[in-house]
Structure 1
Amino acid sequence: MVNVAKDDGLVDAELPSAGAAVPSRDLVGGVSLEGLLTLPSLAGAELVHRPDQLVRNVLRASLLGAAPDPRHHLVCADAETVEAWESAGQDPLQQSALDGAAALVVAGGSVAQVERWRARASDVGLPLGLASHTVRAERIVTEVLGAVLDQQSGILERVEEAHQILVGVVLAGGGLEDLCQRLAGFLGGAAMVTSSDGRVLAQAGSEQALGAALALDCFDRTGRLITEHEPVGIRPSRGAEARRAMVRIAAGSLNHGLLAAFVEDRALTADDVHLLERAATVAALAITKEQAVSAVESKYRAEFLRDALAGRAGTPGEAVAHAAALGWDIDRRFVVVVAETDEDDAHSTRPPAEVQTLQERFARAWTQAMAVRDPRAPVMGFSQEVVALCAVPDGADTETIMRGVTEIVRVISGIGGGGRRTFSTGVSRPVESAADLPQAYDEALSAVSVGRQLHGDSAVTHFDGLGVFRLLALIPDSADLRRFVDEALGPLATDDSAENADLRRTLTILIDTNLNVAETARQLFFHYNTLRYRIVKLEKMLGPFTTDPQLRLKLALALKVHQMRGI
């Protein structure tokens, strides 16, 4: 039995046999002090330590004064050597503590010396091992180095065995879900594969482990891993964050996402992280394989959907049957949704390969988000856009439809997180047949284009909400529209002064209320007489719009054009 001296009583645990691979309890790896006490040379040794020092890890061992960098060393010395240091005016315990040694082990010593060293160890906060006088320090060093070597060898064997198993899973046809299942079994918790911006692609583990992981603060309310706040690789071994770890899944220069592990009852060690890194290479293999298969399938899907949107997919019945063969259902009421990134990829400063990767990632995000809600909904990414056919209930009004689409957009955007590019979305009117797809597609394209002009980037616009802007957007030359605005509104066309913008707002509300002076004054919080004065001023600038309906129409159109961006 090991005699352990400390304030909180004895630690009496079943320890591995000598030379066994002792699991690391700290992210630096190595063998714990507790494990080393089972070595033959340290059998019966007394360890003076604080409660939190027993799990200190040892990576190497050396004689006192022999190691230039004793951090995580077990420093060993005979009593004669320690006494010689003290006679020379040096304090070996304090020096070892300052150098970051894991512990100092002294073999031999008189009762008085041991008592003095024990008190000094408590003062400097360094664990002190007191071994038998029959043991030499050189033997302790040899056995400790052997134990560390055996432990590292065992870890390498475990990691290699796990790697071979994971590779076998993929080669046998398994995917990311199977990979996560195996990894969760190795680590005893939950494992996930996410995209680079945090959307979960695959997960495995017990229901309790997965629930506990998703409840952590590293996930937002949409279930996205907040990757921008999560460090990759080895973490500090203290706190709740030590119970999760992430590594990148990379193939060449491509970043495919993250492999994450979550446990509840311990800190993940450096060895666990190394296992994750090996598993990440296998995950990259699985993702590359899936992408190769998906690329072939996507080619046929994209060709069919492109033909259907152009009206070249045959009769409605033929289109429905072809879609069903591809796993899609278009024999129902649906809207066409078009999503375009706000960045113009045709004139981007990014390298073409990066643009392609970003567009593919954007398309995958839509595919994954739609798959959760409607696995049989057609979704496909083209060069500049993503097109989705979203089913809508019979009788659903525009407001209900837009709520559903906006929720999908919110999930894909990740509530602004992840550093993604912004995108705008257009929604068509509902259609009942595949024969109406070309018209619905044109409506969605108009909605996304005009919606961005009206509301700026990240707009979500329904075709019915365009109104007269549909007609204005058909005019190809924006310079003509700008001249029309300047001629109709005169000085009100610019914001050179705050008064111009204020008068233009007054004119807008006045026309929108059909020249209802009382209602306009109420909306603007003006006194009735103040508004009458403003109307007189506006007519002096623009003409008698209160009595001339043609002039009023001209001004109304000019105000609409002014509202459009890029004019």
Structure 2
Amino acid sequence: MRLRALLETDALGLRLMGGEEELDRTVRGVMTTDLRDPSRYLSGGELVLTGLAWRHSPEDSEPFVRLLASSGVVGLAAGEAELGSVPADLVEACERHRLPLFSVSEAVAFATITEHVVRQVSGERAGDLAAVVDRHRRLMTSGPAGGGPEVVLDLLTSDLDLHAWVLSPVGRQVAGSDAPLSAGVGPALAAEHLAASRTGRRSPHRVMLDGTPYSLFPIRTADRNAAALAGTAASRDVRESVLSDWLLAVEADAGDWPAARLDLLQGVTQLIAVERERRDAARTVRRRLAQEVLELVQAGAPPTEIAARLRVAAPVLLPGLGAAPHWQVVVARIEWDGGAVESGPAAQALLEEILVDPTIPADSLATSAEPADRIAVAYSGEEAIALVPLPAVAADLPEEGASPGLHAETLLTAVQAPLSGGLADDGRLTLGVSAPVHSAEGLRGALEEARHARRVAAARPGRVAAAGHHELASHVLLLPFVPDDVRRAFTARLLDPLRDYDRKHRAELIPTLEAFLESDGSWTRCATRLHLHVNTLRYRVGRIEQLTGRDLSRLEDKLDFFLALRMS
């Protein structure tokens, strides 16, 4: 389509500010950006939409327009929402570089212009994909249950015989056009994509896995990091978003594709980006709940006040649960050499992707409710903090049907390979996982425990490291800098199952444990001391081991129990 055609569509709210003689230029695509230097993402022929967040002074207009012109951009459309009107210095710069300039009414969303351009370009260059885009647009705008990435990928397969998948940064399949990818392929593709993005290679990235060619297209939400990225170097732009962007993997070698087909696939990624933004918006309530709970915990609020907040959070995260869940805390931190990149929001987005339940079928994620997305993530400074609900279980039989919760080793295995490429040689991701707690009283200890576990992980080598609560054993608790909350959480985790069992069954497991340790593990001396038959003692000790997951024949576990009893 030509630029002139945009002015003839009243619904787009465009007003020509300059460059009338250049309106016969052909538009091949559209890009929304507020980066000072978006040239690395431009291939020529684009209409660029900008909210002007990059403009801090009149002197910023000239270099911005010069970069667009040198990249082959055919036109610039500036929104009026940020400054109220298009500044004169931008008009003058566009005139100098013969770049057509439009103003966009505050009442018109950039997404409306994007969808219109993509649809029109598709219609003129490839009628088959135009039908895909148009059908998907209608589905996306028909309501929360009206579509999603799955729909447009199904249409790509049926109409164009292209098999494609939307993947998270760790390779989790968000959506797929047909059969799921084979085990390990998703993480491998994510790793290749992240590594290529860090080196600045132009997309699509072409890779070969097990004899099958794939082309990888980034799915970027243009406005997500615009405010944070304005005025920063291009290399920082990548580090700010690379670990949280989705990608579109197409089973084909795009190396011999015509420019028209590449443009149209880029348009599909823009439509999927709209869906990503909608899903992010659906997480707003969960993020706010997590932030409120985090602020209460950090402020030392009474447990009753925290418990009230948790009661509000439970039905949002686990609808229809009917019982108060247990909670687990996960802390993540992304650190870059030099410390110049704000990583809190990126860590929040990444932790949300990591903790989405991979066991939920991908096709159930087409609605904004996202049943697999059961976590609430806030961030404080450079840390992202996740509040993860776990269904409550019978306290007297935790070994039967109990939710095992999250394990640091499992998280590390899932994310280490794909994320290492995105971290390259100047970034680190560290994760800390707390033990499950069943009440508001234990939440502060769980938070400190997760933070301390993350610090333990940070002391280890590797670009990605994780540590869990089970690694905060007795030798760690003896260190003087360990917070009291971590010690209390350790004690509660080890002894609370025994106390609860004693309270319900009068089994006297705690006195039995104390006597067994004081008898140096001697069955005969302990049984004599407690006036029990040795078989009865063996049953009680076996019950202690069963409830706690410990082995009283091991010196390390004996020491942990000894310190827990002394600190209780």
Give TM-score, length-normalised by structure 2.
0.44
Give TM-score, length-normalised by structure 1.
0.44
Larger C-alpha radius of gyration, 1 or 2? 1
